[in-house]
A and B are shown apart, each in its own frame.
Chain A
Amino acid sequence: AQSVTQPDIHITVSEGASLELRCNYSYGATPYLFWYVQSPGQGLQLLLKYFSGDTLVQGIKGFEAEFKRSQSSFNLRKPSVHWSDAAEYFCAVDTGTASKLTFGTGTRLQVTL
């Protein structure tokens, strides 16, 4: 069965600093990969996705992610963090059947001014 690991439970960055959130997956083939963001009291919002092709994908709100097959990773990055980016971020995989997403445990991002 597939699984997702987000090694960092909590990350604090200063506003304007760069950000990288880590995601590793376990699956026999290349899964479909997603990053979602969840603000307090809100549902999950899709930031970006990777299905195939270019391994660097762009998303909303200035986020990007890079798929690295050799490392089974799909890390999320942003060059300059804004205070409004403070939220919980979830990495998720779909095995290509569109039957369900398997999520990591999330990384809580705190942004200091």
Chain B
Amino acid sequence: DTGVSQNPRHKITKRGQNVTFRCDPISEHNRLYWYRQTLGQGPEFLTYFQNEAQLEKSRLLSDRFSAERPKGSFSTLEIQRTEQGDSAMYLCASSGPGTGTYEQYFGPGTRLTVT
């Protein structure tokens, strides 16, 4: 098991551009989560999927943000018309079925810098 992977690890973009991040969860995990972490803060929940269904979205997820998990495997998080306030670390986590449902395993994150 290679763990949760995220790509790219770093992204620098200009304000107003669109960016897309990818997350590949642990293969047998059916739940996938996105969090955002800014400097000096703990991660904040953005959204989560069970299989391909997006079951909850945070108020933090403005209409410029969209997440998908089309086949219940990998997920993408897109930010349209990026703003400087979007600069943060975007973390993906996954959790397994059964007793593992509550244990979230995190990827290394994608650090976004908006200039």
Contacts and interface: CB of A to CB of B under 8 A. Distances in A.
What is the interface residue range for chain A against chain B?
Answer: 20 to 34
A49 B103 contact: yes
Contacts of B93: 44
A105 B40 contact: yes
Nearest to A88: B42
Interface of B: 4, 31, 33, 35, 40-45, 48, 55-56, 58, 91, 93, 95, 101-109
29 contacts: A36-B106, A41-B108, A42-B108, A43-B106, A43-B107, A43-B108, A44-B43, A44-B93, A46-B105, A49-B102, A90-B42, A90-B43, A94-B102, A96-B102, A99-B55, A99-B56, A100-B45, A100-B56, A100-B58, A101-B33, A101-B35, A101-B45, A101-B104, A102-B45, A103-B43, A103-B44, A105-B40, A106-B41, A106-B42
